[in-house]
Amino acid sequence: METVQAPTSATMDDSRRWKTIRKQLPNYLFILPHYLFFVAFILYPIARGLYISLFDWKIMGKTQEFIGFANYQALFKDQIFWESLGNTVQFMLMTVAINMVLALFVAAALKQSFFGSHTLRVLFYAPAILSVSVLGIIGIRIWDTQLGIVNYFFTTLLHGPRISWLGDPNLVLPALSITTVWWTFGFPMLAFLAGLQNIPEPLYEAAKIDGANTWQAFIHITIPLIMPTMLFVTVTQFIAHMQVFAQPYIITAGGPGNNSRTAVMYLYETAWKYFRFGYASTISVVLALIMIVVTVMLFYFMRRRTEY
Amino acid sequence: MNIASSTKRLWLSLSLLVIMAMVLSACGSAAPAATSAPEGGAATEVATEAPAAAAVPTPVVNAFGTCDDPLVLWHGLTGTDGAVFATLLEQFAKENPDVCINSEGYPWDIFFQKYPTATAAGQPPDMVIFHAAEVQQYADQGLMMPLEDLMYKDGSVKKEDYNPTLIDQITVDGQTMAVPFDNHGWMLWYNKDLIKKAGLDPDNLPKNGTDLIPWAQKITTDVNGKHPTDEGFDKDNVQTWAFEFTWPRYTVPSTLWQFGGGVLAPDNKTVILDSPESIAAIQYWHDLMYKYYVVPPAVPGKMWAGDLYKNDRLALMWEGTWTRGFMNDNPDVWAKSGVGYLNSLAPDGKGAVKFDSHVMVIPAGVDDAGQAKAKTLMAWLAKNGAAWANSGQVPAVISVQQSLDTEKYPSVAKAAEEFNAIGSTDMASKYFIEIQTAYETAVGNALASPDADVAAELKKGAEQIRAIVARP
């Protein structure tokens, strides 16, 4: 007589797991292309960069010399790296701050519907669609000491002195920052506009009934409720502007002296002008670490003040 | 209805903007580096010069002859150089029907991105042309083949035909890595009319730095016609300058050597950028700019010397041999110009000038067939270099230099004489580009403002270079 063995809980679990997998398989197949690209073009380069940073890597070397953390030790003593990192942080702080404040105020103004408001939204966003090369050429034309439009107005209308905007160590980063704000300002403005449009109108009406003026409503309703957008904008702007490269590369070539040389520019030069690929990888690893730490801190501090 | 029509308007506006942006992008150019000179050295970066909008970096691709397997040649000879070089290649193709060429000319910064990456990827061109100054660094990275056996041992070209300083510069561990094609570098171009107008003799220029200062003060005038020695001279509105701090890549080494200083000592290891002689050299330029007001301050955004010169606003101009092309395009300017050895700025009148060379190189990894074709072209260009003088550059072979028609090529003949008499090539270092960036930055900082401390900036730069050369 045949005996049928009752299925154990383990075999039932296995069969349930297989059923689930079979059911979910199409979903995994849909996301598979993304993960293949993610592994090939993001994860692998990150791992490879970490690996190369431990070597004195020569572009045509058949064997590479392992030097452990020597590149990291050298980086901490590298004056140019710290100067370029300092320039990057200054540039980032200026650009993010101006972008945020300006974008928020313009978005608040453009949230209202008035004649031409749609056109203004488009016009404010317009510079964002320019390529960085075009921005660079415009930047050179704007700030040129002899023929630049800024000096033209400054000297002819205001009778001021001819200022070397890109030649003065104290003015070069603000000049680059203002150029970048003009270029990138559209994106945070749109994000803020979307965030502002999500704030329920009755809140403002209730505040108005309670006697709050426009400024008080802005401070006590708009700002707290727009914090999620602000967090998003701050983090994306921080990451984008810490990686600034093309604007100083095209407009000032890092000068005068090292005054507008940024960290990513230095990374590029180290790899492709000096052929120090191991050291360049070290710079990229350290930069990535700095950005990860600051981003986590931003999330931590800004989330505490976020109201959903 | 309102929402629908607003949305429609918004999309319409956005679409128009996108089209405009695409048109603008197509018209715009990526100008990755601010360069001061139309040709010459590796114009990868000039932080202290005017950030000019460079032309669109479109490769100039030319095919010479017809065959299935052309020699692929990459170089940075564009503009006047490129046009003259094309005529040489055309002539070569006629005389060598079995070798055809695909010649690709790129702006130098593009070239220096393509060459190492293509070579590392195992797809190098058969031959490249770049500068002698960069040979040590590229050889150290294994990016080029030694040409000792292929070109020199069998007598295809002879080392004794070339300037010995140049041969030293392109020799790495006893192996000559390249074949020189030309010599190019700094020389003095001067506006005779402007000098005469100031009551001075263009045939009797200052012989040293001490004599230059009062001479230059007589030439320099502000918009009111006042000289720097006059009461009320307006230094912010100068009409005519006596002199100019041109491309640091040539001006700085030339001046340092005139004063007995330099970046590295002849051993290529000892850093002397902060030596008293080097400090005196850069301090001299600082004084010309901010004490005597005879040279415009060396800050980004200043007008290119050639434009000042062309408009009778500059008397003495240190510029490259390739300026001959500029003079060809402006015969009226050439008619009032003189050309000579670089004037000495040192108190004792010591002469010195930096020159470089376009050298022919076979990248690592080129197969035998490619090497054979490159060898044929290199040997031909070395022997037939006289026509290269049409570009203003000096053919590299000394016997060709000596046979040049001085009436037809006055600036080329003078430059050849100058380079052989007082010329030196730049340091031979595997860290060349990094050291060059460091000293150019230091000098840029030293000359950026009247308050800059020249000695401190050069000391800072020297410390950086010491750290570089101390690497194993």
Residue A169 is part of a domain; what is its CATH number? 1.10.3720.10
Which residues of chain B make contact with A141, given a CB cutoff of 8 A? 53
CB contact under 8 A, A134 and B28: yes
Closest by alpha carbon to B105, among B73, B80, B70?
Answer: B73
Which residues between 300 and 319 in chain B have a beta carbon less than 8 angstroms from any beta carbon of chain A?
A: 300-303
Contacts of A73 (CB under 8 A, 6+ apart): none
Tell me: the pLDDT tens digits for B86-96?
Answer: 999 999 999 99
Tell me: the pLDDT tens digits for B261-301?
Answer: 999 999 999 999 999 999 999 999 999 999 999 999 887 66
Given a cut of 60, whether residue B306 has pLDDT beyond it is yes
Banded pLDDT at B453 (limits 50, 70, 90) = very high
CB contact under 8 A, A256 and B47: yes
A79 plus A225 within the same structural domain: yes
**Rounded to an integer, what distance in angstroms lies between the CA atom of residue A84 and that of residue A264?**
8
Q: CB-hemisphere CA count at 13 Å for B319?
A: 31
Given a cut of 80, whether residue B45 has pLDDT beyond it is no
Partner residue facing B10 (CB), from A79, A122, A167: A122
**Rounded to an integer, what distance in angstroms lies between the CA atom of residue B472 and that of residue B470?**
6
CB contact under 8 A, A145 and B299: yes
Q: Render B268-319 in DSSP notation, one character per residue.
A: SSSB-TTSHHHHHHHHHHHHHHHTS--S----TTPPPHHHHHHTT-BSEEEE
**Rounded to an integer, what distance in angstroms lies between the CA atom of residue B25 and that of residue B94?**
41
Partner residue facing A145 (CB), from B52, B112, B301: B301
Angle between the N-to-C axes of helices A117-125 and B2-27, in degrees from 0 to 180, rounded to the nearest 10: 30
Partner residue facing A134 (CB), from B18, B24, B433: B24
CB contact under 8 A, B52 and A140: yes
Query: What value of ipTM does the predicted structure carry?
Result: 0.74
Tell me: the pLDDT tens digits for B66-80?
Answer: 888 999 999 999 888
Residue A274 Rama label (left phi>0; alpha psi -120 to 50; beta): alpha
**Rounded to an integer, what distance in angstroms lies between the CA atom of residue A171 and that of residue A173?**
6
Partner residue facing B51 (CB), from A58, A122, A252: A252
A152 plus A185 within the same structural domain: yes
Mean pLDDT of B233-248: 93
Residue A203 phi/psi, 5-degree rounding, is -60, -45
Considering only B42-56, B214-228, B256-270, B324-338, which range has the smallest mean pLDDT? Answer: B42-56
CA distances from A141 to A240, B296, B410 (A): 24, 20, 38
Tell me: the pLDDT tens digits for B91-133?
Answer: 999 999 999 999 999 999 899 999 999 999 999 999 999 999 9
Banded pLDDT at B27 (limits 50, 70, 90) = very low
**Chain B residue nearest residue A169, CA to CA:** B448
**Rounded to an integer, what distance in angstroms lies between the CA atom of residue A197 and that of residue B108?**
51
CATH topology of domain B185-355+430-469: D-Maltodextrin-Binding Protein; domain 2 (3.40.190)
What is the per-residue pLDDT for A20?
87
A179 plus A253 within the same structural domain: yes
B306, with CB counted inside 10 A (0-12, 13-18, 19+), is buried
CA distances from B191 to B107, B317, B335, B397 (A): 30, 8, 9, 31
**Rounded to an integer, what distance in angstroms lies between the CA atom of residue A88 and that of residue A94?**
10
Instruction: Give strand pairing partners of A65.
Output: A56
Interface probe for B, chosen from A67, A258, A270 (most Cβ of B below 10 Å), is: A258
Tell me: the pLDDT tens digits for B132-150?
Answer: 999 999 999 999 999 999 9
Tell me: the pLDDT tens digits for B410-421?
Answer: 999 999 999 999
A264 plus A139 within the same structural domain: yes
A213 plus A114 within the same structural domain: yes
Domain membership of residue A4 (yes or no) is no
Q: For chain A, how many residues are written?
A: 308
A244 plus A194 within the same structural domain: yes
**Rounded to an integer, what distance in angstroms lies between the CA atom of residue A218 and that of residue A196?**
10
**Chain A residue nearest residue B54, CA to CA:** A137
Given a cut of 80, whether residue B440 has pLDDT beyond it is yes
Supply B440's token pair: 């150019």
A22 plus A131 within the same structural domain: no
**CA B420 remoteness from chain centre:** 18
**Chain B residue nearest residue A255, CA to CA:** B47
Closest by alpha carbon to A52, among A285, A264, A270, A268?
Answer: A285
CB contact under 8 A, A167 and B112: no
Helix, strand, coil abundance in chain B, percent, nearest 5: 45, 15, 40
Supply B457's token pair: 């900036």
What is the per-residue pLDDT for B47?
35
B381, B88 Cβ separation under 8 angstroms:
yes
Q: B376 vs chain A: nearest CA distance in angstroms?
A: 26
Banded pLDDT at B227 (limits 50, 70, 90) = very high
Beta strands in B76-181 (DSSP E): 101-105, 127-131, 171-172, 175-176, 179-180
What is the per-residue pLDDT for B36?
37
B443, with CB counted inside 10 A (0-12, 13-18, 19+), is buried
Interface probe for A, chosen from B8, B13, B241, B436 (most Cβ of A below 10 Å), is: B13
A189 plus A106 within the same structural domain: yes
Contacts of A89 (CB under 8 A, 6+ apart): A242
The parent domain of residue A242 ranges over 71-304
Contacts of B156 (CB under 8 A, 6+ apart): B150, B375, B378, B379, B382
Closest by alpha carbon to A128, among A231, A230, A235, A237?
Answer: A237
Domain membership of residue A120 (yes or no) is yes
A33 plus A88 within the same structural domain: no
What rounded mean pLDDT belongs to chain B?
87
Interface probe for A, chosen from B299, B303, B457, B458 (most Cβ of A below 10 Å), is: B299
A77 plus A46 within the same structural domain: no
DSSP code at position B393? P
Tell me: the pLDDT tens digits for B180-197?
Answer: 999 999 999 999 999 999
Interface probe for B, chosen from A275, A276, A279 (most Cβ of B below 10 Å), is: A275
**Rounded to an integer, what distance in angstroms lies between the CA atom of residue A203 and that of residue A193?**
17
Domain membership of residue A181 (yes or no) is yes
Which residues between 155 and 174 in chain B have a beta carbon less than 8 angstroms from any beta carbon of chain A?
A: none
CB contact under 8 A, B47 and A145: no
Supply B345's token pair: 């700025």
**Chain B residue nearest residue A134, CA to CA:** B28
Partner residue facing B433 (CB), from A130, A145, A273: A273
Which residues of chain B make contact with A253, given a CB cutoff of 8 A? 33-34, 45-47, 51
What is the per-residue pLDDT for B130?
97
Number of domains in chain A: 2
Supply A162's token pair: 């001819």
What is the per-residue pLDDT for A248?
94
A126 plus A25 within the same structural domain: no
Q: Find the helix or strand (DSSP H, E) in which B75 lies.
A: strand B71-75
Mean pLDDT of B44-64: 50
**Rounded to an integer, what distance in angstroms lies between the CA atom of residue A255 and that of residue B52?**
13
CB contact under 8 A, B31 and A133: yes
Q: CB-hemisphere CA count at 13 Å for B343?
A: 28
Strands B71-75 and B60-64: unpaired
**pTM of the complete model:** 0.81
Residue B241 phi/psi, 5-degree rounding, is -100, 145
**Chain A residue nearest residue B117, CA to CA:** A59
DSSP code at position B467? H
Q: Render chain A in DSSP notation, one character per residue.
A: ---PPPPPHHHHHHHHHHHHHHHHHHHHHHHHHHHHHHIIIIIHHHHHHHHHTTEE--TT-SS-EE-TTHHHHHHHT-HHHHHHHHHHHHHHHHHHHHHHHHHHHHHHHHHS--TTHHHHHHHHHGGGGS-HHHHHHHHHHHH-TTT-HHHHHHHHTS------TTTSTTTHHHHHHHHHHHHHTHHHHHHHHHHHHTS-HHHHHHHHHTT--HHHHIIIIIHHHTHHHHHHHHHHHHHHHHT--HHHHHHTTT-STTTT--HHHHHHHHHHTS--HHHHHHHHHHHHHHHHHHHHHHHHHHHHT---
User: What are the residue boundaries of the structural domains of chain B, listed by start?
Assistant: 60-184+357-424, 185-355+430-469
Rounded mean pLDDT for each run of 10 residues along chain A, 308 residues in total: 61 83 89 95 95 92 90 92 96 96 92 88 92 93 87 87 86 96 94 93 92 90 91 94 95 88 95 92 96 92 67
Closest by alpha carbon to A222, among A190, A191, A199?
Answer: A199
Domain membership of residue A1 (yes or no) is no
Which residues of chain B make contact with A122, given a CB cutoff of 8 A? 10, 13-14, 17
What is the per-residue pLDDT for B142?
92
**Chain A residue nearest residue B56, CA to CA:** A133
Number of H helices, E strands in chain B: 17, 16
CB contact under 8 A, A133 and B142: no
CB contact under 8 A, A256 and B444: yes
Which residues of chain A make contact with B18, given a CB cutoff of 8 A? 129
Q: For chain B, how many residues are written?
A: 472
Domain membership of residue A87 (yes or no) is yes
What is the per-residue pLDDT for B67?
86
Residue A10 phi/psi, 5-degree rounding, is -65, -45
Closest by alpha carbon to A127, among A179, A167, A195, A91?
Answer: A179
CB contact under 8 A, A60 and B120: yes
Domain membership of residue A2 (yes or no) is no
B257, B264 Cβ separation under 8 angstroms:
no
Closest by alpha carbon to B164, among B419, B432, B431?
Answer: B419
CB contact under 8 A, B142 and A61: yes
CATH topology of domain B60-184+357-424: D-Maltodextrin-Binding Protein; domain 2 (3.40.190)
Size of interface A-B (CB pairs under 8 A): 154
More confident position, A248 or B17: A248
CB contact under 8 A, B47 and A137: no
CB contact under 8 A, B448 and A121: no
What is the per-residue pLDDT for A175?
96
**Rounded to an integer, what distance in angstroms lies between the CA atom of residue A50 and that of residue A39?**
15
Which residues of chain A make contact with B119, given a CB cutoff of 8 A? 59-60
**Rounded to an integer, what distance in angstroms lies between the CA atom of residue A177 and that of residue B123?**
40
Supply B243's token pair: 């002199």
Number of CB atoms found within 10 A of residue A210's CB:
9
**Rounded to an integer, what distance in angstroms lies between the CA atom of residue B316 and that of residue B301?**
20
Domain membership of residue A62 (yes or no) is no
H/E/C letters for each residue in B51-72? CCCCCCCCCEEEEECCCCCCEE
Interface probe for B, chosen from A59, A163, A245, A277 (most Cβ of B below 10 Å), is: A59
Which residues between 261 and 290 in chain B have a beta carbon less than 8 angstroms from any beta carbon of chain A?
A: none
**Chain B residue nearest residue A151, CA to CA:** B301
Interface probe for A, chosen from B17, B111, B457 (most Cβ of A below 10 Å), is: B17
| B32 and chain A in contact, CB less than 8 A | yes
Angle between the N-to-C axes of helices B276-290 and B432-446, in degrees from 0 to 180, rounded to the nearest 10: 50
The amino acid at B27:
C
A143 plus A205 within the same structural domain: yes
**Chain A residue nearest residue B29, CA to CA:** A133
